[in-house]
Chains A and B, each alone.
Chain A
Amino acid sequence: MDLLLLLQQTLNGLQLGVMLFLMAAGLTLIFGIMDLINLAHGSFYMLGAYVTAWLVGLVDSFLPALALALLLTAAVGFLVEAVALRRLYGRDHLYQVLATFGLILFFNEGIKLLFGPQPIFLQPPVWLAGQLPVFGAPYPVVRLAIIAVGLASALLLWWLIGRTRLGMLIRAGADDREMVQALGVDIARLFGLIFALGAALAALAGAMAGPILAVRIGMGEDILILAFVVIVIGGIGSIRGAFVGALLVGLVDTYGRALLPDVLGLFLERTMADAAGASIASMAIYILMALVLAFRPRGLLPARG
């Protein structure tokens, strides 16, 4: 196997990994602290992509558009939480599934109404065009930027959760919700903030995905499933688990798709190897999930409590 290709695939895996982390981080907090299953998290991803694309068209400058898109999506997240989801805390997960499923339908149709059913294109900014050599392998600058932004976000989150008062409240809330309330903290505000933060992170992932994948309706659902797998592997409520899980899933998925057909090609004839490889690769991360659960039912790095 070509070392150059291997290197590129590793970088691809990292890039997928950090994007998954951005999705999973907010989601795992919402699952762990608020015990709320939010299927509509992918909609924030989609909103981030669409709103950024739209604003770039208006403002013609990427970073301000991105910043504004994140703010807007966070605001939408805050609103959704306050209006629709707040009443669902503590309720049977079934009703949370129902409500957030309804939200997905609403957002998908809404976007279709505003932007039309065809995918739109999000132009990466000019200063991210081209390729850079990484250990001798040419690699798109856009993807490098995504990896950088993703890692930076991880660091930012680590600082936020570990070193700030808000982070302390979040960790306390993950351990014991009622206690935090008893301490006089406005739980409603705290939850709203966590939700908005999660939405912003998802929007960031979506906006960054735009230049690479297409900006289309329903794009959030595909990555959401992966984020679920990440959270299950990493451990619900655990940001560290989300980070490790995300990188693991990103790498396994990327390597699987790139390498499996070739590995199988050693035993099977070409077309069979390609077909089987593609099929098995698409299942690789789920098999990984099943394996992790078999030995560690609570994930690799479960949150305490």
Chain B
Amino acid sequence: MGWRWRVLLVLALAFALLVPWLGDSYVLKLATRILIFALAATALDLVLGLGGLVSFGHAAFLGLGAYVVGIMFLHDFEGSTFLGIAPTQNIFLQFLLAAALAGGFALVTGAVCLRTRGVAFIMITLAFAQMLFYFFVSLRRYNGEDGIALWSRSLGGWLDLEEQRVFYYFALACLLLFLAFAFRLYHSRFGRVIRGSKDNDRRMQALGFPTYRYRLTAYVLSAAVTAIAGVLLANATYFVGPSYLSWHMSGQLIVMVVLGGIGTLLGPVLGATLFILLEEFLPDALDLMVNGAGEYWRLVLGPLLVLVALFARRGLLGALVGGQRPPLPVAADRHSES
């Protein structure tokens, strides 16, 4: 990796560490949101970029994580038990629960999905996510479509997560931890099997790899981490609702990954940043040009996405790296030509 990239990374990290001291609470909230979606997008990239599997149902995992928080909160608030178990507000336990729940759902549905490929795979992942969406909508016990409003955040042990700065650093820590893990994963034996399976699954099997097992593992792993992002999301917004499981949400996650650059370690982070900033400021920009136009900002976003799909193959990161080189991970493999 060139020194230029190292400098940029250090600067970005420094900036991320200083954000809470640079702006007001609005900026901090926005930055926190970016971190959370960066985590979800990076988790999605594990199957999308690394594995070449277009999962259009990742919002289901995000939503499951969020609902763990919501349900725990509600039961704790009411003083009731959930299926006989006392609710927990401890965020670490909620992480575990969310990961287990989403992982389990991914295991069962993934076992079905991963026997298909291409168009069928995309549709089936979408279908399962929709199934969960309608399930939560129909769940009147947890307010169905209206969702659950949280009066307090989860408890972080000695960390006061209500304090916006503390929560920001907590989210940042989660993201950095996962990025480190993802980096190791990409270069590990497991990562190579997943990448190989994306390139040429038939060959992988002919070499002796039972690829199905590995892809399912990646899918479950990705789901578990996305659910953790969901726990953070619920806490950040003080809200949980079925909209977190909508296919618009799944679509947004995919957009974030593609915008930034699929299969690159930091692409999804970039993409999430870009998308959320767009979401936040495009309406205002449009309002400046034509009064009242801001409400229809998706009218601009839509064609923009079409253009990206048609012309910007390697996302933002690809455009920055430039040239004819195929997208290598940001931390390039030692043996590759540089």
Chain A interface residues toward B at CB < 8 A: 31, 35, 37, 39, 84, 87-88, 93-99, 101-110, 112-113, 221, 225, 228-229, 231-232, 236, 275, 278-279, 282-283, 286, 289-290, 293-294, 297
Asked if A282 contacts B112 (CB within 8 A), the reply is no
Q: Given A94-B258, A106-B299, output 15 extra A-B contacts at Cβ < 8 Å.
A: A93-B118, A93-B119, A94-B48, A95-B310, A98-B306, A99-B310, A101-B251, A102-B305, A221-B247, A228-B123, A236-B119, A275-B138, A275-B140, A286-B128, A293-B124
Q: Which residues of B contact A84 (CB under 8 A)?
A: 306, 310
Residue pairs across A and B with Cβ atoms less than 8 A apart, 11 shown, are: A35-B118, A84-B310, A97-B254, A102-B304, A105-B301, A106-B306, A275-B138, A282-B135, A286-B127, A286-B128, A289-B124
Q: Which residues of A contact B128 (CB under 8 A)?
A: 286
Closest CB in chain B relative to A234 CB, distance in Å? 12
CB of B131 within 8 A of chain A?
A: yes
Residue from A98, A232, A289 in contact with B254 in the complex, judged by beta carbons closer than 8 Å:
A98
Chain B contact residues: helix, strand, loop or mixed: helix
CB of B54 within 8 A of chain A?
A: yes
B interface, size bucket:
35 or more
Asked if A98 contacts B112 (CB within 8 A), the reply is no
Closest CB in chain B relative to A198 CB, distance in Å? 14
Asked if B305 contacts A105 (CB within 8 A), the reply is yes
Asked if A93 contacts B54 (CB within 8 A), the reply is yes
Q: Which residues of B contact A289 (CB under 8 A)?
A: 124, 127
Chain A contact residues: helix, strand, loop or mixed: helix
Q: Which residues of B contact A107 (CB under 8 A)?
A: 302
Asked if A293 contacts B116 (CB within 8 A), the reply is yes
CB of B31 within 8 A of chain A?
A: no
Q: Which residues of A contact B138 (CB under 8 A)?
A: 275, 278-279, 282
Asked if A35 contacts B112 (CB within 8 A), the reply is no
A37-B140 contact in complex given A99-B305, A104-B302, A113-B299, C-beta closer than 8 Å: no
Q: Which residues of A contact B306 (CB under 8 A)?
A: 84, 98-99, 102-103, 106
A141 to B302 CA separation, bound complex (whole angstroms): 39
Chain B interface residues toward A at CB < 8 A: 48, 54, 56, 109, 112, 115-116, 118-120, 122-124, 126-128, 130-131, 134-135, 137-141, 247, 251, 254-255, 258, 262, 296, 298-299, 301-306, 308-310, 313
Residue from A102, A225, A232 in contact with B247 in the complex, judged by beta carbons closer than 8 Å:
A225
Asked if B309 contacts A98 (CB within 8 A), the reply is yes
Closest CB in chain B relative to A225 CB, distance in Å? 5
Asked if A113 contacts B296 (CB within 8 A), the reply is yes
Residue from A39, A102, A112, A279 in contact with B303 in the complex, judged by beta carbons closer than 8 Å:
A102
Q: Which residues of A contact B120 (CB under 8 A)?
A: 232, 236
The chain B residue with its CB closest to the CB of A218 is: B248
Asked if A231 contacts B123 (CB within 8 A), the reply is yes
A112 to B296 CA separation, bound complex (whole angstroms): 8
Asked if A105 contacts B140 (CB within 8 A), the reply is no
A112 to B302 CA separation, bound complex (whole angstroms): 14
A105-B298 contact in complex given A98-B305, A98-B308, A99-B305, C-beta closer than 8 Å: yes
Asked if B135 contacts A283 (CB within 8 A), the reply is yes
Asked if B255 contacts A293 (CB within 8 A), the reply is no
The chain B residue with its CB closest to the CB of A278 is: B138
Asked if B123 contacts A232 (CB within 8 A), the reply is yes
Closest CB in chain B relative to A257 CB, distance in Å? 10
A97-B124 contact in complex given A290-B112, A297-B116, C-beta closer than 8 Å: no
The 3 closest A-B pairs by CB, nearest first: A102-B305, A106-B302, A105-B302
Asked if A232 contacts B124 (CB within 8 A), the reply is yes
A297 to B131 CA separation, bound complex (whole angstroms): 19
Asked if A98 contacts B258 (CB within 8 A), the reply is yes
Asked if B140 contacts A109 (CB within 8 A), the reply is no
Q: Which residues of A contact B301 (CB under 8 A)?
A: 102, 105
The chain B residue with its CB closest to the CB of A281 is: B138
A236 to B118 CA separation, bound complex (whole angstroms): 11
